Structure 1
Amino acid sequence: MKHLCIGFIGLGLIGGSIAKALRANHYPCTIVAYEKEDSVSSENLRIALSDGTINNIGHDLSVDFSNCDIIFLCAPIRVNLSYLPQLKACIKDTCVLTDVGSVKSIMHTAIASFGLDKQFIGGHPMTGSEKSGYLNSSELLLENAYYILTPSDKVEKKQVTMFTNIVKRINAIPIVLDPKDHDNITADISHVPHIIAAELVNLVKESDDPSEKRKLLAAGGFKDITRIASSSPIMWQNICLTNKDSIIHSLKKFQSNLDQVITALEEQDSEYLYQIFESAGIYRNQIPNSKGIIHRIYELYIDITDEPGAIAIIATLLGSNGVSIKNIGIIHNREFEQGVLRIELYSEEALLKAKKSLQSHNYVLYERT
């Protein structure tokens, strides 16, 4: 296998996780990460250098990236676009450019305008975390996650094959899509759901009274379905502006569906109302539990008695078995849920370990599916 020189522009959560996965899976490569002058990420790059994830820190794209075989653009999409003129002037003809953003069409258009489409394979690892930055990156973040590839029509097949093999080597699952198909799909399954979640929260906020009864009673199901509304507002502003056509199309379809629901309610159309819930339930139950574009929550719900020390006993039990708890609390609004105590964990491994520990002590557990 050929030894490659791989460059990273942006070594945060996703870039750092890809680099760590390359190292963990012993891919033969030299890794260089770009550092701008006065960069706030300087300390993280020093850590990546000292822990062996990267080999070099580059300060001049025209010098340090001119020999790269692959360059990962892992900064926000508008920042990635700003680097294209410099990269056009310095990279070799055989270098593959790729990115990791959740919007693809705008990137392909810009790439074509710079005449770089023979070298571009768009990428979107469908994984992530609510935490950002290199310090939160992990070689396991991409494990069994779908990794969407949107190669330019002009890129050579051997380059696509080479990059696909790299994706497989880091234990992700490559799927090739057309850029516009990608953007339409992500609008439906990620971008619009984030907008809807945000607006549901705003609806409750704007409807609440000074005593904030809605906020008090919103625990449980409402908080679960609107969890993604807590995502970075800057990131989602950027996504909305760069994928606006697909998002607008999807929102108009959703708006039409809501109009039909309103009509059904006004006309007391019981059959229509039954069908929307039945069809949604059937389709949702067919959705696999593999990693997807919206981050999974690792959580357990437990029946416990209301007595002093009950929560402390569980926390101690999990701690003694090496399980770190991300969040823990009593669920007061359980209208559609079972389990008094909700425990949120950091990983699937922690979830499995917690289940085993608690079941061995005869606790009754519930999982959301």
Structure 2
Amino acid sequence: MTKVMIVGLGLIGASLAKCIKNQHPDYHLIGWDFLDTTRLAALEQGIVDGIPDNFADGAKEANYLILAVPVKTSLSYLQELAHIELQSNILVTDVGSTKQEITEFAKQFSFDFIGGHPMAGSHKSGIQAADATLFENAYYIFTPLPHTKDRINELFDLVSGTKAKQIVLTASEHDQITGMLSHFPHILAAALVNQADHFNQLHPNAKRLAAGGFRDITRIASSDPKMWTDILLSNQNFLVDLIDQWQNNMLQIKNWLLTNNQTAIFHFFENAKDTRDRLPIHSNGAIPGFHDLFVDVPDRAGVIAEVTGLLGRANLSIINIKILETREDIIGVLQITFKTYNDLLQAKNCIEENTDYQCRMK
């Protein structure tokens, strides 16, 4: 019997467990988490088939071992595996957001390792948020070592139940790409929010106007601080280079402003617009996409219940909902977030067919 051990039964680990169980019902899933309550919940909910007395006992049995924990924690587990009598054919992988550090670290051990990064997430966390559809159409990147490339198809098959788009990259290429498209934007979003917070203390009315567009372009600043500290320190070399480039770009823009260089400023925005307009839409990338529907609603009791009731009867799951009050001509704009573009489109049609409310997709 093939045995798979998943270490870390939070959102990613538990969701992977569900995917593997769906695709490979004959596999035996072993679960491990540092929280007793999480281990118990995983067993009671049937997410895993068994919980060992300790990490080492589970690892001894495993043919495949998935480290669904932060990168720094994964390094500790790899070190621990070196002192355990493992199955001779064991294949170890992880789900971390950076790959070069852990891939280089894994070279010293005798067991086979292939880095992995399922590029999916949710505003929810923990085992209760586990979702077998979490990874559908997302990118799942693998970074094998030279001597483990011949086992990549095993890993493809193991996680095929995720229905993710599988890609193989070098660890360095992965970290450079995700550094540019995910890690660096998170730094910029957090820096902008922190700068705005200081500004808001001097201009209290600014906070009222910081909803709408400002909130949207900085929404990734709401990410888990511990996780992002770990990510940045694991990808520091590439990020330092990107920060240096950014600072040079900002100095150039500053110079254009000081010299009233209208042509350069125009081309700066023109090029950005052209590049942005050519980006693929409705596809999952390095940063999970947000599928937002904006509904102009009247100031009337029960209107939110009316809209959510319509969506509920249509079996459309809402990820998040909030009221925006940034427009003078209407009391409220209902912002509803969905998991997929298809859900977004169905919701728009549902509301417009059953009400006279205007909807806009984003």
| TM-score, scaled relative to structure 2 | 0.90
CA distance in 2, matches of 1:139, 1:330: 32
Q: One-letter code of the match for 1:240? A: L
Please say if 1:146 is aligned against 2:139.
yes
Q: One-letter code of the match for 1:17? A: S
Correspondences of 1:319-358 after superposition (within 5 Å): 319-323=312-316, 325=318, 326-333=320-327, 341-348=333-340, 350-358=343-351
CA distance in 2, matches of 1:263, 1:43: 57
Maintained 8 Å contact 1:167/1:173 = no
Q: Deviations over 1:254-276 (max 9, x none)?
A: 11111121122222222222222
The 1:339–1:196 alpha-carbon spacing in structure 2 relative to 1, beyond 3 Å, is farther
CA distance in 2, matches of 1:331, 1:113: 56
Shift of 1:115: 4.3
Residue of structure 2 equivalent to 1:65: 59
Residue of structure 2 equivalent to 1:121: 114
Q: Does the residue aligned with 1:302 lie in a helix, a strand or coil?
A: strand
CA distance in 1, matches of 2:52, 2:238: 37
Q: Deviations over 1:21-74 (max 9, x none)?
A: 112234531110124xxx42x222222223322111022343322231110011
Maintained 8 Å contact 2:95/2:115 = yes
Q: One-letter code of the match for 2:10? A: G
The 1:260–1:120 alpha-carbon spacing in structure 2 relative to 1, beyond 3 Å, is same
The 1:334–1:324 alpha-carbon spacing in structure 2 relative to 1, beyond 3 Å, is farther
Maintained 8 Å contact 2:116/2:141 = yes
Residue of structure 2 equivalent to 1:185: 177
Residue of structure 1 equivalent to 2:125: 132
Aligned length: 357
1:76 to 67, 70, 74: 70
Q: Which runs of 5+ in 1 are unaligned?
A: none
Maintained 8 Å contact 1:299/1:351 = yes
Shift of 1:19: 0.7
The 1:331–1:64 alpha-carbon spacing in structure 2 relative to 1, beyond 3 Å, is same
Residue of structure 1 equivalent to 2:3: 5
Maintained 8 Å contact 2:298/2:331 = no
Residue of structure 1 equivalent to 2:240: 248
Maintained 8 Å contact 2:141/2:166 = yes
| TM-score, scaled relative to structure 1 | 0.89
Q: Deviations over 1:209-233 (max 9, x none)?
A: 4561111111111110000111111
Residue of structure 1 equivalent to 2:293: 300
1:318 to 311, 315, 340: 311
Cα root mean square deviation, aligned = 2.4
Q: Does the residue aligned with 1:113 lie in a helix, a strand or coil?
A: coil
Q: Does the residue aligned with 1:8 lie in a helix, a strand or coil?
A: strand
The 1:197–1:156 alpha-carbon spacing in structure 2 relative to 1, beyond 3 Å, is closer
Shift of 1:340: 5.3
Residue of structure 2 equivalent to 1:98: 93
Shift of 1:319: 4.3
Please say if 1:174 is aligned against 2:172.
no
CA distance in 2, matches of 1:54, 1:16: 8
CA distance in 1, matches of 2:277, 2:20: 35
Shift of 1:199: 0.7
CA distance in 1, matches of 2:3, 2:170: 27
Maintained 8 Å contact 2:99/2:174 = yes
Shift of 1:120: 0.8
Q: Does the residue aligned with 1:66 lie in a helix, a strand or coil?
A: helix
2:204 to 207, 212, 224: 212
Shift of 1:201: 0.8
Residue of structure 2 equivalent to 1:200: 192
Maintained 8 Å contact 2:14/2:127 = yes
Maintained 8 Å contact 2:19/2:159 = no
Maintained 8 Å contact 1:328/1:344 = yes
Please say if 1:21 is aligned against 2:19.
yes
The 1:200–1:9 alpha-carbon spacing in structure 2 relative to 1, beyond 3 Å, is same
CA distance in 2, matches of 1:321, 1:141: 20
Q: Does the residue aligned with 1:33 lie in a helix, a strand or coil?
A: strand
Q: Percent identity?
A: 33
Residue of structure 2 equivalent to 1:48: 42
The 1:346–1:59 alpha-carbon spacing in structure 2 relative to 1, beyond 3 Å, is farther
CA distance in 2, matches of 1:156, 1:186: 22
CA distance in 2, matches of 1:125, 1:59: 28
The 1:220–1:120 alpha-carbon spacing in structure 2 relative to 1, beyond 3 Å, is same
Q: One-letter code of the match for 2:117? A: H
The 1:287–1:334 alpha-carbon spacing in structure 2 relative to 1, beyond 3 Å, is farther
Maintained 8 Å contact 1:108/1:122 = yes
